Structure 1
Amino acid sequence: MESSIVLPTGFDWQHWFSRWERMQERYLVAREERFDTMLRLIRASQPQVARILDLGCGPGSLMLRLLEQFPHAEVVGVDFDPTLLVLAQAQLAEFGDRATFIRADLREPSWVDQWSAPFDAVVSATALHWLTGQQLSLLYRRAAQVVRPGGIFLNADHVGSEFQPLQDEWERHADELLAQVAQGAADDWSGFWNAYGHALNVDIAKIHQVAWDAQGVEEGMPLAWHFHQLKASGFRYVDCFWRRDGDAIYGGMSENFK
């Protein structure tokens, strides 16, 4: 993994990974249920699991669960944020060469050329909504290129509604749940990053200007849009596998799935 970020001496990476997890759980209701569903879908659809690709892997939250549940699999994580990749590398060091990392911009096509062998599963969790519709459509095409025939693509992320009153209700409910989180129980988004940047002694804002030039749709695109793009990319069977308001797990099986 190429990264300009080096953990300071004595840096408590376990503390910061735990804080990341709590911060994510603050915003994502049933987060663990989503992870469990993804693991179950991979296990049910794939006769054997040797290679998994995690797009937008962050600090390795999903990778950790994949490595634990599929003890013979290699899991590759791709992300563009060096401050998250360095945390993932520390968190998953115990898995040795079963966990590998690539720093790459998912908006660019070059990440597709990093591997000579296809993957049994390509997954992502709460990362791809940062992309524009055009960028996401292109990413689906690239994902179809790296998943093996019969493999599975799964994305757990925000999805929008074409019916605005329903979208408004989902957002109202999300705000209501967020308000119920005990004060001080977890960082909010900006609070985590401010504290983490200070601990790393790096300018987080400067890094994120490059890494997170976000132009996507925060609430996500409607499922019908995703299904159309996935089929156009070459995924034969597409479906929504889990949903809770404006969050869903959707994806597809590549050609030759049996």
Structure 2
Amino acid sequence: MSVQSVFNKYAGQYDQSRKKLIPCFDDYYQTMLEVIPFGQDSALEVLDLGAGTGLVAGLVADNYPVARITLVDIAGEMLAKARNALAGYDNDFEFVTADYVAGESFGPVEREFDLIISSLSIHHLEDEPKRNLFRKIFANLKPGGVFVNADQALGETEAIEKVNHNKWLEQARALGATEQELAASLERMREDRMAPLDDQLQWLREAGFAEVTCWYKNYSFIVYSGMKR
């Protein structure tokens, strides 16, 4: 089953279990917001890659009420949920159903951005498409623009990856995740193609990014960023 099919399948229940399946949810997304280096009154052009049901776009809208936010996702059912979830905001939103890997721009969107964000999406790509995407993100940022990714990384060794996985199961169950919710998550995880954190940071540098750093790590959950000078 493709990534698109899996996420269309689970669009209706994805948000219900998210806080249980991301045990570090609050710190994870708070860090993502805190490292965005722009004032809250900035009229930012923002691009959300793999935007899903609009969770991160909503968090950004809460903090940047005059930002223009473009949401791109391959799963149309997810974006339909996002459109409903974001209906109460005053921000200008654009919803684009497209594969953000394909082409030189992001679907029909052909402009540069101040901020490109992504959450729990890029880890579905194989290594070379990740590297190509980082180059594409760099090319589509304005000078001074920033890329922030809240994602997951592969453990540096098989033993470390096993600890990451087992800790996730333990913490998710402790937060009340049902076996049905875990089974659905594990099905989605079959589409994961995670890469080690150090590799991802190096690929950002190779793409041209400066100030590359990891701001947050909790087992496999990571938040990192880079800037286009």
TM-score range, shorter chain: 0.7 to 0.9
AA aligned opposite 2:26: E
Shift in Å, 1:183: 6.0
SS at match of 1:114: coil
Q: Residue 162 of structure 1 aligns with which residue?
A: 156
- Structure 1, unaligned runs of 5 or more: 1-15, 194-211
* RMSD between aligned residues: 2.5
Pairwise CA distance, 1:157: 0.8
Q: Is 1:230 matched with 2:204?
A: yes
Is residue 190 from structure 1 mapped to residue 184 from structure 2 by the alignment? Answer: yes
2:34 is the counterpart of 1:26? no
Query: What is the DSSP-based 3-state SS (H/G/I as helix, E as strand, rest coil) of the residue aligned with 2:48?
Result: strand
Q: 1:248 aligns with which of 197, 218, 222?
A: 222
Q: Distance in 2 between matches of 1:190 and 1:242?
A: 26
Aligned: 1:67 with 2:61: yes
1:46 counterpart residue number:
38
Q: Distance in 2 between matches of 1:189 and 1:128?
A: 21
Q: Is the 8 A contact 2:113 2:145 kept in 1?
A: yes
Residues 49 and 73, structure 2, Cα contact 8 Å, conserved in 1: yes
Aligned to 1:144, which of 131, 134, 138?
138
Instruction: Determine whether 1:133 maps to 2:130.
Output: no
Structure showing greater Rg: 1
- Partner Cα distance (2:196, 2:179) in 1: 32
Q: Note if 1:180 corresponds to 2:174.
A: yes
* Residue of structure 1 in register with 2:72 after alignment: 78
Count of aligned pairs between the two proteins: 215
CA deviations over 1:136-187 (Å, ceiling 9, x no partner):
1111111111111111111111112223322222222112112324365984
Query: Cα–Cα, structure 1 residues 183 and 215, in superposed 2: closer, same or farther, change >3 Å?
Result: closer
Matching residue within 53, 56, 64 for 2:50: 56
Shift of residue 111 of structure 1?
A: 3.8
Task: Give TM-score, length-normalised by structure 2.
Answer: 0.84
Q: Is the 8 A contact 1:23 1:188 kept in 2?
A: no
Q: Which amino acid aligns with 2:68?
A: E
Q: CA–CA distance in 2 between the matches of 1:233 and 1:21?
A: 33
What is the percent sequence identity of the aligned residues? 22
Secondary structure, counterpart of 1:182 in structure 2? coil
Offset of residue 37 of structure 1? 1.2
Provide the rounded CA distance (Å) in 2 between the counterparts of 1:161 and 1:169: 8
Map of 1:109-124 to 2, 5 A cutoff?
A: 109=103, 111-112=105-106, 114-124=108-118
Paired residue type of 2:142: R
1:251 Cα deviation after fit? 2.0
TM-score, scaled to structure 1: 0.75
Deviations 1:52-71 (A, max 9, x none): 11000001010111111101
- CA distance 1:184–1:162, shift in 2 (3 Å): closer
